[in-house]
Amino acid sequence: MQKIILRTENLSKTFPGVQALKNINFELYKGEIHGIVGENGAGKSTFVKILGGIHQPDTGKIYLNGEQVEIRSPRDAKRLGITLIHQEITLVPHLTVAENILLGRLPTKKLFGFISVLNYDEMYSKAEEILDRIGVNIPVTSKVKELSVGEQQIVEIARALADEAQIICMDEPTSALSPYEIERLFDVIRSLKNGNVSVIYISHHINEIFEICDRVTVFRDGEKIGTFRVSDVTPEKIITLMIGRKLSQFYAYREKSTAIWETPILEIRNLSTRPIGAKALRLEKISLKVYPGEILGIFGLMGAGKTELAKAVFGVYKIEKGEILLEGEKIDIRRPLDAKRYGIVYVPEDRLREGLVLSMPVKCNITLPCLDNLTGSILIPQELERDIAMKWVNALRIAVPHIDFRAANLSGGNKQKVVIAKWLEMKPKVIIFDEPTMGIDVGAKEEIRKIISDLALQGIGIILISSEAEEVMSLADRIVVMRNGKIIGEFDRREVTKDDLLALASGVRREVKEDTKMGG
Amino acid sequence: MPSRESKDIREQLRIYVLALYSKEEFKPFVALIGIILVSSILSPYYLTIYNWRTILAQASPYIILAIGETLIILMGSIDLSPGSVLALSGAVTASCIMLLGLPVWLSVLIGLAIGGILGLINGIMVTKAKIPSFVATLAMLAAARGLTLIITGGRPISGLPDEFTRLAGFVYNIPVPFLITLIVLFFTTFLLKYTKIGRYVYAIGGNEEAARFSGINVDAVKIVIFTLSGILYGLAGIIIAARLASAYPQAGVGYELDAIASSVLGGVQLIGGLGSPIGALIGTLILITITNILILLNVNPYYQFVVKGFVLALAATTLTRGLRYTK
């Protein structure tokens, strides 16, 4: 019988408007690799954030080695030997690998018997010893910024080992890695297991789970559905459990399409991008068409390149090759201002950073993009501005006491509505929605989906980017699936099932099964 | 029992008071009133017309500098060049009058234009060459000071004509520079409150990324505002030259710190997006009043700097409350 290192009992957590976790009973064995899978919003990340001390549970208990513990801060977690590794790297780029691994416990020696200075020899040998333990060969004297993302992640793992971590939680560690780097990471994870460290491994990529995990737990809507030995289940079964059998209330939302299938309102041909200084392309030969009144869904997992595509079209990222056509005519977009002038607008995923000026009132946020078009004068037409703001506050039912209310004080759903409202006065031809309902409570989610569907009804071409299969299934006319910067499939939404989309996007399957595919 | 009406009025009043209280200028304003009250108790000379003539005349160029600096800080940038730009504008104006014999009005216009050009260069460095404003304007601080020394040969240009020094005269006990300051205050307040570019200044300072994602021509706004601030620094330089009837090559050394300090004391957030020219005015008056009262009390002038530093640090602690950390 295996030893249980970590156990949670009835762990629950509520965020405003959302029950993120419901009575989670979870067991982690010593030295196992335990996968956690679930759709977006299933509660996976919340769960490991509680273990890592970032969130506090509302109710429930956590036992470590049989003893009840309270994890009030990341410091507590570290002291108890629990380390969280997220997508974002938390290393100091200008310091060396060795310094990063041993940061916080740098070895020192005495100079002249009383001045304490860094002992570089010991630091390097210690760091090397830790890297040896996980079987990797990264020069400990090189600076972290010179390493690849995959190597940086390995350094993070090494740092966790230096901190004597017993449990390492990894949240989507492979989203930014190349296939070779993923293999290397997996080797490291396997060696952790031999060193009796337990790993909690969160991933959307079901095939990864089956490659390295011993057991897998499925989360859905904040609940634990079940834990299985991977040898006892199939990937298809796991996907079915993730989605659940109950069909959503949104599912049949838009039964009739309003698209006019003549000239595409927006066409992208062979678009490629490359991050500055990078060798590999980020997006590779993306081609797609959006028709007036159509909602084109773009589905893919985190890191598939969906946001990059949206930002390239909106003029934020430089396009290396490829063409963009608006109503059949080639256009040149170099910055968001150009895109706006052509009537192509973007509702960003990161609305706090890219969508809103939190220090300004709702009114000013709504009219910010359209001010230049209101009058030729340099003055702001005060009354017109109020009218416009009022019009959209009412039309989108934004809940604010008054339009001079600071945007910072709005709820998530209302913030998103303001970001949408600010584009509508411009009468855009194409709207790109990037994860429009992420992090928004259920009621507001439905309202925002209704807004999107109404906008399509007005003949606007809509690109809906989402990593929620349910969202694209319920709204889009056609669905494009992206993976690793490429389009790997395009479907009429009646041709595919949610299982197909997830299986394709996560790399479990390469094609839609023939029996589910009907003629287009 | 209070009637419904009086309740409504009280409710209205509460809303107004709340609105007033949530303004960034509120705390600095209360502080200024407090300092003035304390000062008038400490020294009988403080609340005299003669003293206030001096305070306002002295404060005017500082206020204009602080307003220019505020425009830049509102965009989330910083400007270290006001002191040097001021000196070069003053020196060029004086040279035009004394060495080239140009008419005073034309010389003043040229002086303002020099300020504008230096500001324009700052703006281009920040937007097109993408040099952080701290470094770009630090370079300007050095270069403009150097140019001033070259033009003046390191010696003051003195003996400026009455026609020019009248710019620093008095109208019914009100210093002309202060009247100019009021015009600048009115103009910049109007610009920020009622024009599109003013709105964009707040948007850029509040969240530059969101401003760019809203399709605002951020670079153009920055260039215009840097230029405008440059003109304001030039104006301050001309006023100082008029007050002293000469242009000194060392004029304005260290004034950038006063400009920044005044903005901060006036409630302008250093990260941008919140604050106003009124705040800059209040901040400058706080600094000047403190200096003034220390002089009236015969405190060793060297202590003034210590007191100024102390007040600035103290004020800053109240402004950054609620932030998780700063750099």
DSSP state string for A258-298: ----SS-SEEEEEEEE--TT-SS-SEEEEEEEE-TT-EEEE
What pLDDT sits at residue A430? Answer: 95
Q: What is the mean pLDDT of chain B?
A: 90
Q: Name the residue with higher pLDDT: A362 or A255.
A: A362
| Confidence grade of residue A413 (pLDDT, cut at 50, 70, 90) | confident
| Confidence grade of residue A402 (pLDDT, cut at 50, 70, 90) | confident
* B301-324 pLDDT, tens digit each: 888 888 888 888 887 776 655 555
Q: How far is B206 from chain A (nearest CA, A)?
A: 5
What pLDDT sits at residue B138? Answer: 95
Least confident among A300-304, A387-391, B20-24: B20-24
What is the rounded CA–CA span in Å between residue B107 and residue B102? 6
Residues of A in contact with B194 (CB under 8 A): 379-380, 382
- Greatest alpha-carbon pair distance for chain A in Å reads 84
ipTM of predicted assembly, 2 dp: 0.83
What is the rounded CA–CA span in Å between residue B302 and residue B250? 19
Q: Where are the alpha helices (DSSP H) in A104-169?
A: 120-133, 149-162
Q: CB distance A336–B195 less than 8 Å?
A: no
Least confident among A73-77, A149-153, B78-82: A149-153
Q: Name the residue with higher pLDDT: A357 or A248.
A: A357
Per-residue exposure over A164-187, b if at least 16 CB sit within 10 Å of its own CB, e if not: ebbbbbbbbbbebbeeebbebbbe
Q: Which of B200, B206, B210 sits opposite A355 (nearest CB)?
A: B210
To which residue do tokens 């509520």 refer? A14
Predicted confidence (pLDDT) at residue B227 exceeds the cutoff of 70:
yes
Q: CB distance B195–A346 less than 8 Å?
A: no
What pLDDT sits at residue A518? Answer: 40
- Interface-testing mutation among A346, A368, A372, A384, with chain B (most B C-beta atoms within 10 A): A368
What pLDDT sits at residue B320? Answer: 57
A388: Cα within 13 Å, side-chain hemisphere: 26
Least confident among A147-151, A431-435, B289-293: A147-151
**Beta-carbon count within 10 A of A233 CB:** 16
Instruction: Return the domain boundaries, chain A.
Output: 4-243, 263-343+429-510, 357-427
What pLDDT sits at residue B13? Answer: 79
Q: CB distance B196–A379 less than 8 Å?
A: yes
What is the rounded CA–CA span in Å between residue B8 and residue B2? 10
Q: Name the residue with higher pLDDT: A173 or B189.
A: B189
Predicted confidence (pLDDT) at residue A205 exceeds the cutoff of 60:
yes
Q: How far is B85 from chain A (nearest CA, A)?
A: 28
Predicted confidence (pLDDT) at residue B326 exceeds the cutoff of 50:
yes
**Residue of B243, B236, B199 whose CA lies nearest to B79:** B236
Q: Name the residue with higher pLDDT: B254 or A251.
A: B254
Q: How far is B217 from chain A (nearest CA, A)?
A: 7
* A209-234 pLDDT, tens digit each: 999 999 999 998 889 999 999 999 98
Give percent helix, percent strand, percent coil of chain B, each to the nearest 5.
75, 0, 25
What pLDDT sits at residue A17? Answer: 61
What pLDDT sits at residue A516? Answer: 44
Residues of A in contact with B202 (CB under 8 A): 357, 359-360, 364
Q: CB distance B207–A358 less than 8 Å?
A: yes
Sign of dihedral through CA atoms B203, B205, B208, B212? positive
What is the rounded CA–CA span in Å between residue A354 and residue B218? 14
* Residue B194 sits at the chain A interface (C-beta within 8 Å): yes
Predicted confidence (pLDDT) at residue A67 exceeds the cutoff of 80:
yes
What pLDDT sits at residue B72? Answer: 96
Q: How far is B86 from chain A (nearest CA, A)?
A: 29
Q: What is the mean pLDDT of chain A?
A: 86
- Write the CB contacts of A368 (distance below 8 Å, at least 6 apart in sequence): A357, A360, A422, B199, B203, B211, B214, B216
Residue type, A149: V
Torsion, CA A148, CA A149, CA A152, CA A153, rounded to 10? -140
Establish whether domains A4-243 and A263-343+429-510 are of one fold.
yes
What is the rounded CA–CA span in Å between residue A418 and residue A307? 20
| Confidence grade of residue A520 (pLDDT, cut at 50, 70, 90) | very low
Least confident among A120-134, A495-509, B104-118, B206-220: A495-509
Burial class of residue A103, CB neighbours in 10 A (0-12, 13-18, 19+): middle
Residues of A in contact with B196 (CB under 8 A): 371-372, 378-380
Residues of B in contact with A384 (CB under 8 A): none
Q: Which of A314, A335, A356 sits opposite B207 (nearest CB)?
A: A356
Per-residue pLDDT, averaged over A121-133, amounts to 90
- Assign residue A233 a region: left if phi > 0, alpha if psi is -120 to 50, beta otherwise? beta
What is the rounded CA–CA span in Å between residue B200 and residue B180? 26
Distance of CA B162 to the CA centre of its chain: 27
* Residue B211 sits at the chain A interface (C-beta within 8 Å): yes
Instruction: Return the domain boundaries, chain B.
Output: 64-280
Q: Could you tell me how many residues make up chain A?
A: 520
What pLDDT sits at residue A515? Answer: 45
Residues of A in contact with B195 (CB under 8 A): 378-380
**Residue of A416, A337, A368, A425 whose CA lies nearest to B203:** A368
- Pick the residue from chain A with its C-alpha nearest to B22: A406
Two tokens at A232?
């006892």
Distance of CA B68 to the CA centre of its chain: 5
Residue type, A196: N
What pLDDT sits at residue A71? Answer: 92
- Give the CATH H-level superfamily of domain A4-243: P-loop containing nucleotide triphosphate hydrolases (3.40.50.300)
**Residue of A308, A426, A314 whose CA lies nearest to A370:** A426
* Residue B220 sits at the chain A interface (C-beta within 8 Å): no
Residue type, B82: P
Residues of chain A in Cβ contact (below 8 Å) with chain B: 314, 316, 335-337, 339-341, 345-346, 348, 353-360, 364, 368-369, 371-372, 378-380, 382, 422
Residue B301 φ/ψ, nearest 5 degrees: -55, -25
Two tokens at B168?
């620093």
* A477-512 pLDDT, tens digit each: 999 999 888 899 898 888 888 888 888 887 777 766
Q: How far is A84 from chain B (nearest CA, A)?
A: 21
What is the rounded CA–CA span in Å between residue A164 and residue A104? 12
Predicted confidence (pLDDT) at residue A364 exceeds the cutoff of 90:
yes
Q: How far is A163 from chain B (nearest CA, A)?
A: 25
- Write the CB contacts of A508 (distance below 8 Å, at least 6 apart in sequence): A206, A207, A235, A236, A239, A502
Least confident among A347-361, A418-432, B2-16: B2-16
Domain covering A263-343+429-510 in this structure, CATH number: 3.40.50.300
